[in-house]
């Protein structure tokens, strides 16, 4: 699984640190804490969950103050329980407290997505279906949030408009027919690109299979229709279910035999994991 | 209420558009849709909620293609019902579909925060307590998310470490005493800066009142203690309740007479509002 | 075919204009040309070739001076002859001359790549083989240079390390076997990603076919081996020839029946097209 | 000769690395190569040439992964033969392969320019004429490409519109006369700035000499006219030949006695040097 | 007092270094100084003054060349005399001389502001009045210049439009009355924000006190009126004098009993401190 | 004289506007001024001076709000008297007041430099000597401040380390001799670059003249020595006086016959011009 290189997120963290520091800086710590006060602090989980972004969060401290030392007690992908120590941070107390909120915000968000994804994956663990995310991500955090989905046990769908074709309703209707839309894509895109089409009915599915596609997105279909759809595809194309799927009905969807289940809420509505930093005086 | 100038978010939107376009661009629309195809599309709500970020979302289309025209059917702060038309977008079909996801992602997120805030505010509408947000925001989206809280009827707490003093547990313990921490702040910060201190017990509250502060953050106190605390303050300082407050107990908290109720989940865990774009062929 | 949106290249052009202007600006034009002198100038080809980047080049003038008017006499993808007028630029003479070199540099480079690609494509026009580019592009110009390849009639291969798997010699050797490398990829990557493997011998080809891949990169094979390879693949996978292919032997390579011919020199060594700007006094 | 400081190109390299990594990263290496696999790899020349950009290329690896060690076997300016080891790179195998293409692209391009320049310089080694480059460089790579010309043994002409006056045809015609153009420049620019004027005929040359300039650009003149021009100048001004000069006729041009020969193709059309990276398993 | 973290100014310094290096670099040092020449150089004061920005200036050398070593002989806030050694810089001579001017420019400017502030503070040392700066700072240097004011012994007023309310003449007149302006602010801003209002007359002061504000800005008042104003306020609000105050009359202003004296010229017109770098051969 | 293109300063202005707005924005104007209130306001001089940066200042308003209209009453280079209207700004009152301080700060600074330069130039108006600036500019404002010097009637010296050679004491001493330093430069730099050398004594001057340079910087010489120096140069090289020159002794320096007088204080210590914005209700 692809891990992010620091070069891919350090500018994001520097910008976030400056968002919190502003021009006046951390006026509370500067006033209250002696300049040379050294301390250590623990990153802690406050509820159960799947950890993601721990390395990234720890690098936040080091970007603010290269003298800070950190040590991991767990790693991205680990399931933790409430009040578990995740890592320790040692160094200048002002620096640690100045970076605290930025580090926690990124850790809480990514762990929240990973934890939510892990819950969905757990529901379908006895089926072949894979849980996949969508492009419904926070603007400018996509690479981080897609990474959190992978850490949660899910797979990534397209990263953007650029790395795969997905013919949706609007495209199909403008093109006039499924057949025409697919033909135009085949003439246009390169040989490394896969072609998926969204279908809402079994009739559209038949047209898509006839036109020749790599994947079909079965959107908002009933369980019965999903079963039918999977049968008709006979393994010739990859099948993906989407629309109106939650933790209660995901198993039923998976049991239809679809290959993929895509869930927008993994990224757009996952609650943050509760994490905190405790100074150890 | 302070509205954002475009200069404050346009770079963010340009970056988000490029996150979705990548280097190859929108290969689906480029293949399927004729280059000069003009269309119109509606932004729609899919559930009830408070709208926020509509102007910002519409400017996303125009940043990609300055020839696109847009018209608002409602404004930030309006409460809408499911399937209500929010705005219309007219122009080149490729451009509209290429910007769609970025525009929806920002609208869904900000409206989600505004809607969640509005729910909290509604619970305490008969009390004097104001709902306020925290610094638990998505990294690099703080100004947008704090704006969404205002649109939801909440008030903003500090924007960062720079525009107010908040002496938390860790600061207090390093300083040695509440009195000493407050003294150091008074010597250090400027005359435009307010001083708040976090207290966990009534004894700490008494020390804070004696030291002289502008606000007290009553953290994780019972309803009974909150009532006591409000009484002891006698209006001399602003009182803020925080910790473990949800939609179920917020009214009880407000009824203790506190001035402010701060809620981290307004920004770190608000689910996105379901919004979509429908092309009108 | 995907066209670039201005948002994808305008910052690049602004940066290039400033590279040429520096801090002192265009000291020659400022000294010699009256401030309000209006003129018109033609962009001209000096040799035959395929035009690419004309819109981009013209936007360079407008980014420096929004009052400048431009008109196209041809479009990206047109084949032109020497001394043909490509476009006219009208407005302030200082602005036109200050932007001239930047505009010409981008037009010359992209048209050079398109022209070189068109020559390669012309050689194999009677075969099914498609000409494709590689990742051997100028750092930070990849999206522009890949666009020029498309304008030249070629297809794009991967845009980066992120949008397709290509198992090369080094990967295969570290993995230990073709079979193992392919298995690891299948477990790791998402369902939208295609898998290509580089093979140097027919034995490796057999192993790749057995492991199950989407494409095979036949590297530095003789014409005889390429023919054999195509036969063995029997249309089950896409075949790509690469290595040591030039304008002299490309037809022979294409006649082996391969699907794709990839050429690094389309982007790393294409000579610029000779273009100029003539003021019309 | 001025060497670039890392601060002058590291952002360029970071941007180029991210261009290749995208948001998903190097999915092949992440899938196939164990996370902790350490290796070493050699940078190799594949043909003869002049090396340029080796330090820059090696820093690409270190910007991606600071733990990588590198060692030079030659230096910028060295002439190498085919299959010569240029440097060794040691460290994490994923990191090395993820940075490989970006490092090679920059090395290949700069060495290509240096090699081409060295060829031109070699042709005129027995004359006093110096080979100089122009502003016909790749947008936003000018400082790197001008450095490569220096490494190739050439000299740099103006770096931009800002560091020297060059009155070209268009300026002269708008001004009305050579005399007037030169006068305006003398009144306008500072004392550190040299003044060059482009002349196409001997009559124009006489006017330029009369007006008083520091250099004359003898554009597209015949060998006979160049000789005449050099004679008329009598060493009072620096003479520069340009236009239609290639490796075949450059010696004849040099033998006219001109001081400088400027060649646009050193930067706009130099083919890349063939370089590669071989993992040493 | 809040100290700046390097993350808050390093990009500013890198940009400044590149402003001085341009694309050609330090052509003098590259030509004259052998590549490996090591040296040491002293930063010196040339006149008396208060030092500010010494750490920042020294980091300039290290950003250009991480091998450079530096040692402080004094610290920000120290008062120095002419020709005092402030710090020593050791390492590559080219690097030291290439960074010299940028380092000196930042040190001279910040020390100039600190020295000017210290002079103003010294004048009023026996009064309770504090010297404060304004928003009349050099664009994009505000955080640095406000830091210099703190080092000079002054206090900071608002850092921007965002961290405090200041109702000025123009606001008040548009609102129609002081009372209305204050009411609107109280409804709009959060609980961490203080409210100041500019008043030009004692009548306006009375209206402001009646409306309820946190501070009053007494603008361009006579000494007599200032005394009256202070009396009327009776310590209920913080009083600030501004307008037409210089080193000659500042003591008289302070003796009126005002809490704050704001001076635009601390930042917009402070002369640079004369500092230099001497190589020790 | 070279005028700046907007592309050269607009990003600087956008950044400065955001420095003042922060994340919360202009909370005073948002609270007090109705959202649609339109007004007009005048930019005024408060003292006599030379105006510079008026176009730049006015574009600040338009960058914040493109609907704002502006009209110039004077132009860069005009000498104004106290309380003269410089320009009018019309449009949304919130926008005008939000941009006011940023616009005034840039106008005040550039006009201050232009006014100071004009004073120096006026002193020597009857001599041939030109007033020139140095590299002692505010970091990252050099192009703006050098422009202000030109508007003040001065000339620019080098813009950076890149566009001219200046051999200073430190270079000379490391090289070992003037002759050696000059020789190394001649071998290294291109033909468009002028060579200046700093000399402190007449002996050094003789050595410089013997070595062959384009300009001599006569540093900290007495009036008598300056006269001697000018005589010895006999017009063969350009002479520049620097060091310890102020408005009182500048005429005496000019009367020695030097060509250039360079003054660091034009840019590092010029007091701001007092300018303001008055809303016209």
Does the structure show a pLDDT above 80 at B1? no
Residue that the structure tokens 């390395």 belong to: A55
A215: nearest CB among C156, C191, C240: C191
Task: Give C 176-235 residues with CB within 8 A of chain D.
Answer: 181, 184-185, 187-189, 193
**Tokens linked to E101:** 């001017």
What local confidence, expressed as pLDDT, does residue B40 receive? 97
Q: By CA distance, what is A191's nearest residue in C? A: C157
Strands (E), chain C: 38-45, 49-50, 69-72, 79-80, 85-92, 130-132, 165-167, 195-199, 215-219, 238-242, 260-262, 275-279
A31 close to E (CB below 8 A) = yes
Is E262's pLDDT higher than 80?
A: yes
d(CA E97, CA E17): 12
CA-based nearest residue in chain B for residue A108: B268
Catalytic annotation, pick one of A168, A184, A186, A236: A168
Within D81-220, where are the H helices? Answer: 93-123, 142-151, 169-175, 178-188, 202-211
Q: How many C-beta atoms lie closer than 10 Å to residue C42's C-beta?
A: 16
Is F186 in the active site?
no
State yes or no: is C136 an active-site residue. yes
Q: Where in F113-267 does DSSP place strands (E)?
A: 130-132, 165-167, 195-199, 215-219, 238-242, 260-262
Taking the Cβ of residue B25 and every Cβ of chain C, the question of whether any pair is shorter than 8 Å is answered with yes
Q: Which of C259, A170, C162 is nearest to B24 (CA)?
A: C162
E217-242 tens-digit pLDDT: 999 999 999 999 999 999 999 999 99
Q: What is the pLDDT of residue D281?
A: 83
Question: In C, which residues are within 8 Å of F4 by CB distance?
Answer: 25
Which spans in chain B are helix H? 10-21, 27-32, 54-64, 93-123, 142-151, 169-175, 178-188, 202-211, 223-233, 250-254, 265-268
> Is A68 at the interface with chain E, CB within 8 A?
no
* Segment B99-129, tens digit of pLDDT: 999 999 999 999 999 999 999 999 999 999 9
F132 touches chain D (CB under 8 A): yes
A133, A146 Cβ separation under 8 angstroms:
yes
Mutate to test the interface with F, among E16, E17, E29, E31 (most CBs of F within 10 A): E31
Q: In terms of Cα–Cα distance, which of E162, E257, D175 is closest to B5?
A: E162
Distance from F210 to chain D by nearest Cα, in Å? 19
pLDDT tens digits for range D106-139: 999 999 999 999 999 999 999 999 999 999 999 9
Does residue C198 carry a catalytic annotation? yes
pLDDT tens for residues B169-219? 999 999 999 999 999 999 999 899 999 999 999 999 999 999 999 999 999
Q: Burial of D88 by CB count in 10 Å (0-12 exposed, 13-18 middle, 19+ buried)?
A: middle
Calculate Rg over the CA atoms of chain E.
23
What is the C-alpha to C-alpha distance for residues C254 and C131, in angstroms, rounded to an integer? Answer: 9
CB proximity E98 to D under 8 Å: yes
pLDDT of E1 strictly over 80: no
**Is F33 an interface residue toward B (CB < 8 Å)?**
no
Chains touching E (at least 3 CB pairs under 8 A) are A, B, C, D, F
Q: Do E24 and D163 touch (CB under 8 A)?
A: yes
| Pairwise CA distance, residues D18 & C161, whole Å | 10
Q: Token pair for residue C264? A: 């690094």
Name which of E186, E189, E136 is nearest E162 in CA terms: E189
Per-residue confidence (pLDDT) for residue D14, from 0 to 100: 98
Q: What parts of chain A have a pLDDT lower than 70? A: none
Neighbours of E83 (CB within 10 A): 12
Does any CB of chain E come closer than 8 Å to the CB of residue D73? Answer: no
Question: Pick the catalytic residue: D14, D101, D143, D183?
Answer: D101
Mean pLDDT of chain E: 97
CA–CA gap between residue A132 and residue C190 (Å, rounded): 9
Contacts of D49 (CB under 8 A, 6+ apart): D79, D80, D111, D112, D114, D115, D273
- Over its C-alpha atoms, chain B yields an Rg (Å, rounded) of 23
For an interface test with D, give the residue of E10, E11, E16, E25 to mutate (most D CBs within 10 A): E25
- What does the alpha-carbon distance between residue E139 and residue E132 come to, in Å, rounded to a whole number? 18
Q: Please give the backbone phi and psi of residue A250, each rounded to the nearest 5 degrees, phi first.
A: -65, -35
Q: Take residue F151 and report the two structure tokens written for it.
A: 């508007």
Looking at beta carbons, which residues of chain F come within 8 Å of B140? Answer: none
Active site residue D94: no
Report yes or no: C139 at the B interface, CB cutoff 8 Å: no
Q: What is the pLDDT of residues B210-247, one digit of tens each?
A: 999 999 999 999 999 999 999 999 999 999 999 999 99
pLDDT in tens, E51-63: 999 999 999 999 9
Select which of C26, C100, C145, C219 is catalytic.
C219
For the stretch C55-110, pLDDT in tens is 999 999 999 999 999 999 999 999 999 999 999 999 999 999 999 999 999 999 99
Q: Is F180 left (phi over 0), alpha (psi -120 to 50) or beta?
A: alpha
Banded model confidence at residue E2, pLDDT cuts 50, 70, 90: confident
* CB-based contact A275:A54 (threshold 8 Å): no
Mean pLDDT for D163-167 is 97
User: What are the start-end ranges of the E strands in E69-189?
Assistant: 69-72, 79-80, 85-92, 130-132, 165-167
Question: How far D67 CA sits from the closest chain B CA (Å)?
Answer: 28
**pLDDT over 80 at C1, yes or no:** no
State the smallest CA–CA distance between residue E21 and chain B in angstroms.
28
Indicate the length of chain E as a whole number. 281
D6 in Cβ contact with E64 (< 8 Å): no
Whose CA is closest to B149, among B55, B53, B72?
B53
**Contact assessment for residue C116 and residue C152, using Cβ atoms and an 8 Å cutoff:** yes
D165: helix, coil or strand?
strand
Determine which helix (DSSP H) or strand (DSSP E) holds E276, and give its type and residue range.
Answer: strand E275-279
The pLDDT tens digits of the residues spanning E14-60 come to 999 999 999 999 999 999 999 999 999 999 999 999 999 999 999 99
* Strands, E assignment, chain A: 38-45, 49-50, 69-72, 79-80, 85-92, 130-132, 165-167, 195-199, 215-219, 238-242, 260-262, 275-279
Active-site option among A76, A100, A219, A259:
A219
**Annotation says F198 is catalytic:** yes
| Average pLDDT of span D259-270 | 98
Token pair belonging to F39? 């007004």
Q: Say how many C-beta atoms besides its own lie within 10 A of residue A83's C-beta.
A: 12
Q: Is the ipTM of this complex over 0.90?
A: yes
3-state secondary structure (DSSP) of residue F280? coil
Q: What is the pLDDT of residue F2?
A: 79
- Which tokens belong to E232? 């009327």
Q: In whole angstroms, give the CA distance from residue E100 to residue E78.
A: 22
Listed residue (D265, D210, D209) closest to D239, CA to CA: D209
DSSP single-letter state for residue C220: S
- In DSSP terms, E224 is beta-bridged to none
The answer to whether the CB of C100 falls within 8 A of the CB of C230 is: no
Task: Say whether residue E21 is in contact with chain D using an 8 A CB cutoff.
Answer: yes
* Three-class DSSP category at C94: helix
Give the Å distances, CA to CA, from F139 to C89, D5, F2: 37, 19, 21
F3 to C35: CB separation less than 8 angstroms, yes or no: yes
| Element (DSSP H or E) covering residue D64 | helix D54-64
DSSP letter for each residue of A160-190: STTSSEEE-HHHHHHHSSHHHHHHHHHHHS-
Distance CA F171, CA E26 (A): 12
- pTM beyond 0.80, yes or no: yes
By CB atoms closer than 10 A (0-12, 13-18, 19+), residue B87 is buried
- Contact F63/B at CB under 8 A: yes
């Amino acid at each position: 699984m692809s891990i992010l290189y620091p070069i891919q997120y350090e500018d994001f963290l520097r910008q976030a640190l400056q968002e919190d520091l502003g021009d006046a800086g951390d006026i509370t710590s500067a006033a209250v804490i002696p300049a040379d006060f050294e301390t250590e602090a623990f990153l802690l989980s406050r509820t159960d969950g799947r950890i993601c972004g721990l390395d990234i969060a720890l690098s936040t401290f080091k970007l603010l103050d290269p003298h800070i030392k950190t040590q991991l007690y767990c790693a991205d992908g680990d399931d933790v329980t409430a009040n578990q120590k995740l890592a320790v941070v040692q160094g200048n107390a002002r620096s640690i407290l100045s970076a605290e909120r930025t580090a926690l915000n990124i850790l809480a968000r990514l762990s929240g997505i990973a934890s939510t994804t892990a819950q969905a994956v757990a529901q379908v663990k006895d089926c072949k279906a894979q849980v996949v995310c969508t492009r419904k991500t926070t603007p400018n955090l996509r690479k981080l949030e897609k990474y959190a989905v992978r850490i949660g046990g899910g797979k990534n769908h397209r990263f953007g408009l650029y790395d795969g074709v997905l013919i949706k309703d609007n495209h199909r209707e403008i093109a006039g027919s499924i057949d025409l839309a697919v033909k135009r894509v085949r003439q246009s895109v390169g040989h490394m690109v896969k072609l998926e089409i969204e279908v809402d009915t079994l009739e559209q599915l038949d047209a898509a299979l006839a036109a020749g596609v790599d994947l079909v997105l079965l959107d908002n279909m009933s369980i019965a229709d999903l079963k039918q759809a999977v049968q008709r595809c006979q393994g010739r194309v990859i099948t993906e279910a989407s629309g109106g799927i939650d933790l209660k009905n995901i198993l039923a969807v998976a049991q239809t035999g679809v290959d993929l289940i895509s869930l927008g809420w993994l990224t757009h509505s996952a609650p943050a994991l509760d994490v905190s930093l405790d100074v150890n005086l």
